[in-house]
Structure 1
């Protein structure tokens, strides 16, 4: 039994192109209304996206199934990371800050970049220099985002340390107050118990 050969991983250019094409057709592909868009309409749009994608991107052509699966996987990964982040943010307990996974931040940065700029600058006749410039720009943005995240983590650690220190000081003051209160109450009781 022969298995299909594994296709090459998607490059950042291919991902951005795919997201751009999907975004252009999002009114049909992301429509959740019942009865408004038929499944066969979505299939036709995916076929159109596949043709456009293969005409824009060099390299081995991708099938409709590959592109659809890649898009659904990207969407699922984003949702999962978003849910994990919310769960972590709203969770209780101490401990050190959670360090972000560099691979996750890179994909998030790429998807946010594509959503923000809509990747409209890409044309079917891009030269390799333009491809390199686009990849360099994405790399710079990813590095900047990573640096920003590290600074935010450091700030959060410092803030956490200060809060812990304030809580310790407040606890010590509270203990001191309780001890002094106890001593005063004991003196009052002793005075009351002394025979007159």
Structure 2
């Protein structure tokens, strides 16, 4: 199939079609194996994906295999970024209601489960706001008799939040968020590294394919010359 260079941006319908096709080959494309057999299967899968995509009546302009591979990487990067923002917003307590993940992002995440590894962050009792405040026998927040139930009023909690306990809570929360951001950055760098490795493998396979075609063409021409001289 002759490779073409698409000029128009991909529409939402085309992206949805593309993901539907990708799903048929998700086991191969998301495989973590790096051997030659796996790389060849991925190359063949991408050729089939491009062929099926370009044959669809939904497609307004054909795209090359390279362009579709780049589209897939871009869609994964966008889904990863949206999910990361959503996770950070939930951890930091929200803010204005914002829709980070759209239907395309969700579909991409469903296809490739390795896009964003779940990061486990330990949330201590004081992180979620349920702080237990302690006092001595002279503290008015405590009942003066051993028989009565010990309770702390909401008003006294708010006062105690202004003490170093509140400062410690803020520092701990900030450290948790910084740790999460560092882990996300490390995963982002690892993700980009894998993308770069995949691109290099595709280029190597493409070059080997061209070399093999050139050898075959040379063999055909040599046979034609031999036949010509024999005549």
TM-score (norm 1): 0.48
TM-score (norm 2): 0.42
Instruction: From the two aligned structures, give the one with the greater helix fraction.
Output: 1
